[in-house]
């Protein structure tokens, strides 16, 4: 009996010490791959740390931060003012925003689609339902199948704010759970178009995006994003409630270090500096 007690006590202590070092990271599906790579590499370098990374969407991560359910929130869009208000209501802080990587929002096209270049206005018209046939964009006479993300996705909000300029998506936009599902759908659908992070573009074509009809089109490559030539680039963020200290600070510093930023490039995004 006594022995059991001791074992239980030891187990409890072990669990306690493990819990103390565990950091939870939650949010953007776009950044899920990146977050997981960071966690793996960081844990390899610091065997005493435990980092748990989950996705769900930027909105989910921000909600989790507001509800106190995560230490670090990954978001592919800045926090809105109403979200900051909600955080303030609960924790008397508006949070700390740390840009950790850059991304070009990529528009995926099927490889068999003759259309390769789109202007920002054309993309807007596709997703608001004004343009419904590829013929209107110089392609074949076929209906455009527009794929998007659920409204919990940061990319959904980013595209809505920056390309649709606040307008609503057309009700005909098909929403799929996760960027991988969008890429998969476009890869199988000759007349499909979808959006998501550049890192996921496997088996699909990345559309060259033009600022307007007169300007040249650019692919979302590192050089183009860094030189701000690609018109739809964005920062990817980590949010924490207050200035990071201790274990979390060590992690954030490492992510921003050359070692951490080299993983950004490897995953397919672009370093912040």
Site of interaction with other proteins (CB under 8 A): 56-57, 59-60, 63, 66-67, 83, 86, 142-143, 145, 147, 150-152, 156-157, 160, 166, 168-169, 171-177, 181, 184-185, 188-189, 191-192
The values of phi and psi at residue 169, to 5°, are -65, 150
Query: How is residue 99 written in tokens?
Result: 């840009």
- Computed on alpha carbons and rounded to an integer, the radius of gyration of the chain in Å comes to 21
Query: Please, which residue, 174 or 265, has the CB nearer to other proteins?
Result: 174
**CA-CA distances (angstroms) from residue 159 to 132, 168, 211, 235?**
18, 10, 14, 13
Instruction: Determine contact, residues 39/254, Cβ cutoff 8 Å.
Output: no
At its nearest, how many Å lie between other proteins and the CB of residue 262? 32
At its nearest, how many Å lie between other proteins and the CB of residue 231? 23
Query: Please, which residue, 185 or 201, has the CB nearer to other proteins?
Result: 185
Residue reference for tokens 């072990």: 14
At its nearest, how many Å lie between other proteins and the CB of residue 222? 31
DSSP state of 153: -
d(CA 257, CA 253): 6
Query: Please, which residue, 111 or 212, has the CB nearer to other proteins?
Result: 111
The DSSP line for 220-240 is: --HHHHHTT-SSSEEEEEEEE
Query: Please, which residue, 134 or 269, has the CB nearer to other proteins?
Result: 134
Query: Please, which residue, 42 or 169, has the CB nearer to other proteins?
Result: 169
At its nearest, how many Å lie between other proteins and the CB of residue 227? 32
Is 118 exposed, middle or buried (CB count within 10 Å of its CB: 0-12, 13-18, 19+)?
Answer: buried
* Nearest alpha-carbon partner for 222 in 264, 255, 181: 264
At its nearest, how many Å lie between other proteins and the CB of residue 119? 24
At its nearest, how many Å lie between other proteins and the CB of residue 226? 31
Query: Please, which residue, 151 or 243, has the CB nearer to other proteins?
Result: 151
């Amino acid at each position: 009996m006594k022995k059991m007690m001791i074992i239980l006590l030891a187990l409890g202590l072990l669990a306690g010490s493990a819990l103390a070092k565990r950091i939870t990271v939650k949010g953007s599906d776009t950044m899920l791959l990146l977050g997981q790579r960071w966690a793996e590499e960081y844990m390899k370098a610091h065997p005493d740390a435990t980092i748990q990374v989950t996705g769900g969407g930027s909105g989910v991560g921000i909600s989790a931060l507001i509800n106190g359910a995560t230490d670090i929130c990954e978001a592919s869009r800045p926090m809105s003012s109403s979200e900051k208000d909600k955080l303030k209501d609960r924790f008397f802080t508006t949070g700390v925003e740390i840009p950790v990587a850059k991304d070009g929002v990529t528009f995926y096209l099927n490889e068999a689609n003759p259309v390769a270049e789109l202007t920002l206005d054309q993309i807007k018209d596709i997703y608001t339902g004004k343009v419904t046939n590829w013929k209107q964009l110089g392609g074949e006479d076929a209906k455009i199948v527009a794929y998007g993300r659920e409204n919990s996705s940061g990319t959904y909000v980013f595209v809505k704010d920056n390309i649709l300029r606040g307008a609503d998506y057309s009700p005909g936009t098909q929403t799929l759970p996760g960027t991988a599902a969008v890429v998969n759908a476009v890869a199988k659908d000759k007349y499909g178009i979808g959006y998501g992070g550049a890192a996921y573009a496997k088996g699909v074509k990345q559309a060259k995006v033009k600022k307007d009809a007169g300007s040249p089109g650019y692919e979302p490559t590192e050089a183009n994003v860094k030189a701000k030539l690609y018109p739809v680039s964005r920062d990817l963020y980590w949010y924490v409630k207050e200035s990071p200290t201790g274990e979390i600070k060590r992690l954030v510093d490492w992510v921003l270090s050359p070692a951490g930023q080299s993983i950004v490039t490897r995953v397919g995004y672009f370093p912040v500096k």
